[in-house]
Amino acid sequence: MSEHLVAEQEQARGELAAWREFRARNPLDADPFFLRLVRRYLGARWSEVEPRLRATAAAARDVDADVAETARDEHLPVLRRHDDLGRPIEEVVFHPAHERIGRAFWSSGVLAVLAEPGNDTFSGALCYLLDRGGEAGHACPVACTAGAIRLLQRVGTDDQRRRWLPALLETEFSRRLHAAQFVTEVQGGSDVGRNGCRAEPVPDGSGRYRIRGEKWFCSVADAGLFVVSARVPGAAAGTRGLGLFLVPRRIDDRPNGFRLRRLKWKLGTRALATGEIEFDGALAEPIGRLDQGFRNLVAIVLDTSRVHNALAACGVLRRALEEAHAFAAHRVAFDRPIAGFPGVQELLARIKASLRAALASTFRLLDWTDRIAAGNAAPELEGARRIGVMINKYGTALACTRGVRDAIEVLGGNGTIEDFSPLPRLYRDAIVVESWEGTHNTLVAQVLRDFATRRLHEPWLAAAAADLAALEVDLPGPLAARARALFEEVRDRIRRVLEVDARRAEAVGRHVVDRMCRLTDWLALCDQLRAERLAGEPTDQEDVLELYRRLHLDPVDPQDDPLLAGLWARVAAGT
């Protein structure tokens, strides 16, 4: 091998080493848009919470190697059904790195801050920083535990809150109680009304029940507390007959009437234990009114998880952008960094625009949640938020998968190698994020039902109109004019979908929701620009908005647009 070739190879390896060194910075410092966004929403609390956010970002970075280890084939969770004396234990055994990652998640206080209302934005910011590594075996447990906390806070009895909340809010990993939500059954899937798992009253006057039946898709199979839907004797058919129950994993240090049939072998989120569970007389206590079980499941538990799902999508998108951007800056081809090639700039710019839209729309919802909790919101905002959560989960999940795929393309063949970067693992996780907490079609159908039966399009449109009015006052001009036109288009689409028969509505519903997502993104991005200008902050939001418009609102053919390549270059220049 010639000395010249050896030198070139060493130079190339040096470029890759520089890329890895560059990406080792504190993720919070490397994320200027998120800093501006979260500072805005946290306001006067920023100086108080910044150290926690900075420490969480560093902790998430420091367990990155552990996250990769737990996703390896030989390190995935395994089921241990009996102890060494043959006694049933129904345990899930994890790689030792699982606990180190868990300590980073729980010690952040991402759940503990939920003890007081008005902390969803703060908790969401912590989630976003933790979720940069993908699901990591803990993002789903955090989401499910948050759902259990909200359920207890809103419909639990005083006694239930006293018994369960302290451990659910615990920050010490070894002492924490983490929760799961078991709803799906093999014959039901999204058609939850077909579920057959049943709850039988215990005839001792205690008000407790015994759960019997099976659950088909049980993520967080190692949880200490299960939130389980089950059919109540004598109740109505369909979803109205489903009650909601709390089922502790162990009673008297023994498995509480359940058996883990097997762990699922999944495409993504592989460090997370997902299994099938058979209940055979598990002791349970109702949570909330039994005749409101399904309503509480959707409005509290799934609603919470859907917000966490969007935060996970944002975190994965952010990591994809960081990996691709740093690689493009350091990888040299044809005697220059590949970041200088328009084809690469287009991919980077596209990921960045998607990430900004996802972050802006998600934190807009978190702010709504805090305002509602504090009593600082109009009554109709709750209905608007319900619709917003569903379409945001839908839109951010799609954007995440597309963004990670674009990042893999920037890395080329290297992007497909499992131990070269986290992108292959993040891509698999992103596809699972699309299915969790309601598939796209399920969410669209639920939005259409809420429009037709509860007229929730009215508060959603009213909230959008309020944002639009503020924009027209503080940011008049082309951006506000485009927002006005898009608002009128979406309002008309909703009117038309409500006028057709159910089958026709189902056929076009997804396209209506797509445009609703675009309106939400556009308003949220414009609102952030408005806030940055009012605060006198330097911003590159104008270019991001212009690119978003050309990508999603008024698509252009690059051959007909001589300015587009320059726009790609400017947007791709920073993270």
Helix (H, G, I), strand (E, B) or coil at 567: helix
* Average pLDDT for 512-532: 97
Q: Phi and psi dihedrals of 122, rounded to 5?
A: -65, -50
127-185 per-position pLDDT tens digit? 999 999 999 999 999 999 999 999 999 999 999 999 999 999 999 999 999 999 999 99
Place of tokens 């037709």: 452
Q: Please report the beta strands in 87-224, taking only residues with DSSP state E, as ranges in sequence order.
A: 88-93, 179-182, 198-201, 209-219
Kindly tell me the burial class for residue 128, based on how many C-beta atoms sit within 10 Å of its own C-beta (0-12, 13-18, 19 or more): buried
Spatial contact of 309 and 436, defined as CB atoms under 8 Å apart: yes
Q: What is the pLDDT of residue 1?
A: 67
- 70-78 contacts, C-beta under 8 A, 24 or more apart: 70/94, 70/95, 70/97, 70/98, 70/101, 70/136, 70/137, 70/271, 71/270, 71/271, 71/425, 75/271, 76/270, 76/271, 77/137, 77/222, 77/263, 77/271, 77/272, 77/273, 78/263
CB 276 within 8 A of CB 262: yes
d(CA 297, CA 154): 12
State the pLDDT at residue 423: 97
Tens of pLDDT along 297-339?
Answer: 999 999 999 999 999 999 999 999 999 999 999 998 998 999 9
Contact 571, 353 (CB under 8 A): yes
Would you state the pLDDT for residue 58? 95
> Percentage of the chain with pLDDT > 90?
88
The C-alpha angle with vertex 530 and arms to 313 and 563, in degrees rounded to 5, equals 75
159 sits in the region (left: phi over 0; alpha: psi -120 to 50; else beta) called: alpha
CA distance 506 to 510: 8
For 408-446, write each residue's pLDDT tens digit.
Answer: 999 999 999 999 999 999 999 999 999 998 899 999 999
Local structure of 95: helix, strand or coil: coil
User: Are 150 and 373 in contact, with CB atoms under 8 Å apart?
Assistant: no
Average pLDDT value for residue range 175-204: 92
Bridge partners for 258 per DSSP: 279
* Residue carrying structure tokens 């029940």: 209
Interval 347-405: pLDDT, tens: 999 999 999 999 999 999 999 999 999 998 888 999 999 999 999 999 999 999 999 99
Neighbouring CB atoms inside 10 A of 251's CB total: 12
107 Cβ partners below 8 Å, 6+ apart? 59, 171, 172, 173
Tell me if 124 sits within 8 A of 366, measured CB to CB: yes
Mean local confidence (pLDDT), 60-73: 96
> Quick one: pLDDT band at residue 24, thresholds 50, 70, 90?
low
CA count, 13 A, side-chain hemisphere, 546: 15
Q: How far is CA 280 from the centre of its chain?
A: 33
| Interval 99-107 mean pLDDT | 98
Residue 45 exposed, middle or buried by CB count within 10 Å (0-12, 13-18, 19+) = middle
Tell the residue number behind the tokens 């390190």, with chain if given: 75
Q: What is the pLDDT of residues 454-487, one digit of tens each?
A: 999 999 999 999 999 999 999 999 999 999 999 9
Q: Average pLDDT, stretch 505-510?
A: 95
**Beta carbons of 121 and 370 less than 8 angstroms apart:** yes
pLDDT category at 18 given cuts 50, 70, 90 is confident
Contact 228, 197 (CB under 8 A): yes
Confidence of residue 7 (pLDDT cuts 50, 70, 90): confident
Neighbours of 573 (CB within 10 A): 16
Neighbours of 23 (CB within 10 A): 19
| Spatial CA neighbour of 429 closest among 92, 136, 180 | 136
Q: How far apart are CA 197 and CA 213, in angstroms?
A: 4
Query: Can you tell me the mean pLDDT for 538-562?
Result: 94
pLDDT for residue 14:
80
Q: Provide the 3-class DSSP secondary structure of residue 92.
A: strand
How confident is the model over 488-515, as a mean pLDDT? 96
CA distance 379 to 89: 48
What is the average pLDDT score of the chain? Answer: 95
pLDDT of residue 23: 65
Per-residue model confidence as pLDDT tens digits over 230-284:
999 988 889 999 999 999 999 999 999 999 999 999 999 999 999 999 999 999 9
- Report the pLDDT averaged over residues 112-123: 97
Under 8 Å CB-to-CB from 263, ≥6 apart: which residues?
77, 78, 79, 92, 221, 273, 274, 275
Mean pLDDT on 548-555 = 96
- Model pLDDT, residue 176: 98
pLDDT score recorded for residue 430? 98
Count CB neighbours of 366 within 10 A: 24
Question: Is residue 30 classed as helix, strand or coil in its secondary structure?
Answer: coil
Residue 1 burial by CB count (10 A; 0-12/13-18/19+): exposed, middle or buried?
exposed
Local structure of 283: helix, strand or coil: strand
pLDDT at 556: 85
Please give the DSSP secondary-structure letter assigned to residue 549.
I
Sort strands 179-182 and 225-231 into parallel, antiparallel or unpaired.
parallel
